[in-house]
């Protein structure tokens, strides 16, 4: 509030009053103007310091100055007001953003509701850009040479297996300049798949975890941050679900799904944003099916226009491979939505026609793409062989619904399947066997296992678990040659042991190989009670339930991770795939093949 005139000599005051001039002397007005100017400058300086402190994750610098009692700082009335007076917008939890309702003349009645609300920055928030975020190299986590080698491992091999997530980035300098999160994700995934630099994995993983945590509540995101989250979600078992959730959220915030319209018109920036959205979509649906959780991305215009996207001038062979994934995971997403999550309820007869339609859709997908791909300069015949594996996995996921509600809770015996469902169940068994047959016989596919994303690790693990569970718990439900099934499982375990022997010990397949090996050894041990007589089993031999004999808990415990899987379509493989929220750095097993859970 403006103060009154300063006291002056009576005669001077009277003279001023006689002329109607009650203002203070000029010198006083200059002092007042200077004070207002300095107050404004100091407040701007405080706001800049606050923003710098936020960017560098420092505590409140003004509060820190208050705690330094040995500093002889003068406590002027302004200083006290600036620190303890009314809070400014930048002192709140959301310092940089305010909201006001505006009338946009370009806003149509059919526009989305939020289009009439514009975001404005608090006064003084516009200023110099924040300092560059430290990277793995600048923080000393990796040397420049180590980072270059890791980037080369990812760029030259891994990135081609997942349709070139890096996009236009061709060197480490470009990645470092664009996103510290992308840099950490690339180096972490590369270290996990590098024999020479595998010892750097722990360092890179800790840095990635730190950066992801810092990004969760940040309002500043880029498309390259989304790339980093996708890379981590595709390959890193522990944080996969958390990373894909963040990727979907940020992709929505920066409106990647809106880019399809300009992409179809030939805009290259929109093309790059659209293909990144497809990667997010595929990654999200990978996680949805593998972990039995609803997908967070849905059938928007970008997904519906995937085939049109391939007709744009910028589309490449990698985009064709990516769109095939969009299409098949879209079908699997529809399967998830249609059949729901109640795995204890048998399929109703009225649901069978829709199941057949889904099966036809998958058959059509396979017919469209099975002969589309030839040898690739970077990944050999993987694109063509991957089509077959993804087809059998999607069919296995669909047809495993035939086993819903097969366990009769009242009698403890499995229910008999109708002829229609029995046909579906047999298809599931054939698909699981086909997956394992390809992986055990194809040396080229085995060479890619130390590089393929988590989806393939779980594809193998679930196929084994599915066949073992059907053979041991529901032997009379479907027709199967148990001897051949167990031989196939044994060959798969041997293959996994051989392939994983040169893998990083944090690789998911290393843990899967250990768990399956212990289980198979127990099943084939002639001294084990309830032994399943693997080598003597025939197609119709009754196989005793592992929990049928009382007094032999070791066998029951070792089979628990198979028998505890309450549903086939939820892929709840708790032993090889633990709780995701814990961000585990390792998967350990005790002498009985059980996962060791360490507290803290």
pTM of the model: 0.73
- Contact between 451 and 157 (Cβ < 8 Å): yes
Phi, psi of 280 (to 5 degrees): -60, -45
Are the beta carbons of 314 and 168 closer than 8 angstroms? Answer: no
Whole-number Å distance between alpha carbons of 330 and 303: 8
User: ∠ at Cα 592 (588, 598), nearest 5°?
Assistant: 35
- With beta carbons less than 8 A apart as the criterion, state whether 203 and 141 touch: yes
User: DSSP labels for 436-447?
Assistant: HHHHHH-HHHHH
Q: Residue 60 and residue 297: Cα distance in Å, rounded?
A: 38
Q: How far apart are the C-alpha atoms of 245 and 231, rounded to whole Å?
A: 13
Q: What is the pLDDT of residue 31?
A: 66
Q: Which tokens is 515 given?
A: 């768990």
Look at residues 279, 49, 254, 263 and name the one whose alpha carbon lies nearest to residue 161.
Answer: 279
C-beta separation of 465 from 400 below 8 A: no
Nearest-10 Cα torsion for 451, 457, 459, 463: 140
Q: Which of 262, 348, 352 is nearest to 313 (CA)?
A: 262
Whole-angstrom Cα distance, residue 347 to residue 353?
Answer: 11
Phi first, then psi, for residue 257 (nearest 5°) are: -70, -10
Any idea how long the chain is? 600
Kindly state the tokens that stand for 325.
């994934």
pLDDT at 495: 97
Per-residue pLDDT, 292: 80
Give the CA angle between residues 78, 79, 84 to the nearest 5°: 100
Contact 504, 510 (CB under 8 A): yes
Beta pairing partners, 101: 117
Q: What are the extents of the domains in the chain?
A: 1-58, 144-308, 344-596
User: How far is it, in rounded angstroms, from Cα 181 to Cα 232?
Assistant: 10
Distance between CA atoms of residues 136 and 201, nearest Å: 12
Q: How many CB atoms lie within 10 A of CB 496?
A: 27
DSSP β-bridge partners for residue 588: 596
* Phi, psi dihedrals of residue 163, rounded to the nearest 5°: 65, 25
- DSSP secondary structure letter of residue 129: P
Its sign, for the CA torsion 429, 435, 436, 438, is positive
φ and ψ at residue 100, rounded to 5 degrees: -140, 150
Tell the residue number behind the tokens 């040659």, with chain if given.
Answer: 481
What was the pLDDT predicted at 532?
47
Average pLDDT by consecutive 10-residue portion of the chain (600 residues)?
52 60 59 75 78 62 47 41 40 45 54 51 43 80 96 98 96 96 98 95 96 88 97 95 95 96 97 98 90 88 97 97 98 93 89 97 97 95 97 96 83 83 95 97 97 95 92 84 92 96 95 90 64 41 34 36 38 35 32 39
Amino acid 553: pLDDT: 34
The pLDDT assigned to 519 comes to: 81
Please count the CA atoms within 13 angstroms of the CA of 245 that sit on its side-chain side. 12
- pLDDT in the model for residue 132: 61
Question: How far apart are alpha carbons 148 and 176 in whole angstroms?
Answer: 11
- Which residue in 383, 370, 491, 474 sits closest to 428, CA to CA? 474
Q: List, as own/partner pairs, every contact residues 581-586 make where C-beta atoms lie below 8 angstroms and the sequence separation is at least 24, other chains included.
A: 581/241, 581/242, 582/238, 583/209, 583/238, 583/239, 583/242, 584/237, 584/238, 585/202, 585/205, 585/238, 585/506, 586/505, 586/506
Q: Residue 459: which residues within 8 A CB-CB, separation 6 or more?
A: 389, 393, 435
Nearest to 221 by CA among 180, 259, 173: 180
The helix or strand, by DSSP H or E, that contains position 546, with its residue range, turns out to be: none
Tokens representing 225 are: 């941050």
């Amino acid at each position: 509030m403006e103060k009154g005139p300063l006291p002056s000599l009576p005669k001077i005051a009277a003279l001023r009053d006689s002329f109607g001039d009650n203002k203070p002397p000029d010198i006083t007005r200059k002092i007042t103007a200077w004070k207002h100017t300095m107050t404004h400058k100091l407040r701007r300086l405080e706001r800049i310091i606050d923003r710098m402190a936020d960017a560098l994750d420092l505590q409140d610098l003004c509060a820190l100055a208050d705690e330094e009692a040995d500093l002889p700082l003068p406590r002027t009335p302004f200083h006290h007001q600036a620190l303890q007076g009314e809070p400014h917008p930048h002192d709140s939890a959301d310092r940089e953003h305010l909201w006001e309702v505006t009338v946009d003349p370009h806003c149509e009645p059919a526009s989305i509701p939020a289009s009439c609300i514009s975001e404005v920055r608090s006064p003084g928030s516009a200023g110099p850009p924040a300092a560059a975020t430290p990277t793995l190299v600048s923080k000393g986590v990796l040397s420049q040479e180590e980072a270059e080698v890791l980037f080369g491992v990812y760029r030259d091999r891994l990135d081609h297996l997942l349709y070139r997530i890096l996009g236009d980035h061709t060197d480490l300098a470009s990645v470092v300049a664009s996103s510290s999160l992308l840099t950490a994700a690339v180096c972490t995934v590369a270290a996990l798949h590098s024999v020479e630099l595998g010892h750097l994995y722990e360092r890179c993983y800790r840095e990635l975890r730190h950066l992801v945590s810092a990004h969760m509540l940040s309002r500043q995101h880029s498309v390259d941050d989304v790339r980093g989250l996708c890379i981590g979600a595709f390959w890193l078992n522990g944080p996969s679900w958390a990373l894909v959730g963040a990727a979907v959220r940020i992709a929505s915030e920066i409106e990647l799904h809106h880019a399809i319209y300009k992409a179809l018109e030939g805009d290259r920036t929109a093309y790059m944003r659209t293909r990144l959205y497809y990667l997010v979509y595929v990654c999200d649906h990978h996680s949805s099916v593998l972990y039995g959780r609803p997908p967070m991305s849905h059938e928007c215009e970008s997904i519906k226009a995937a085939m049109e996207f391939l007709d744009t001038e910028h589309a490449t062979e990698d985009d064709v491979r990516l769109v095939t994934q969009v299409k098949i995971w879209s079908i699997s997403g529809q399967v998830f939505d249609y059949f729901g999550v109640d795995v204890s309820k048998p399929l109703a007869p009225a649901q069978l026609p829709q199941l057949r339609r889904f099966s036809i859709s998958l058959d059509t997908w396979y017919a469209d793409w099975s002969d589309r791909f030839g040898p690739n300069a970077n990944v050999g015949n993987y694109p063509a062989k991957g089509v077959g594996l993804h087809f059998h996995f999607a069919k296995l996921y669909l047809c495993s619904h035939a086993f819903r509600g097969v366990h009769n809770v009242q009698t403890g015996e499995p229910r008999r399947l109708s002829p229609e469902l029995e046909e579906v169940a047999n298809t599931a068994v054939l698909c699981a066997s086909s997956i394992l047959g390809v992986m055990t016989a194809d040396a080229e596919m085995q060479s890619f296992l130390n590089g393929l994303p988590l989806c393939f690790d779980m594809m193998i693990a679930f196929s084994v678990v599915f066949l073992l569970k059907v053979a041991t718990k529901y032997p009379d439900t479907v027709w199967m040659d148990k001897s051949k099934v167990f031989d196939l499982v044994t060959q798969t375990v041997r293959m996994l042991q051989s392939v994983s022997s040169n893998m990083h010990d944090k690789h998911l397949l290393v843990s899967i190989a250990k768990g399956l090996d212990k289980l198979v050894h127990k099943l084939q041990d002639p001294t084990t009670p309830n032994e399943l007589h693997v080598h003597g089993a025939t197609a119709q031999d009754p196989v005793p339930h592992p929990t049928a004999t009382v007094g032999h808990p070791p066998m029951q415990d070792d089979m628990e991770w198979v028998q505890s899987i309450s549903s086939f379509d939820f892929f709840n493989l708790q032993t090889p795939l633990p709780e995701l929220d814990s961000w585990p750095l390792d998967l350990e097993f005790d002498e009985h093949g059980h996962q060791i859970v360490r507290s803290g």
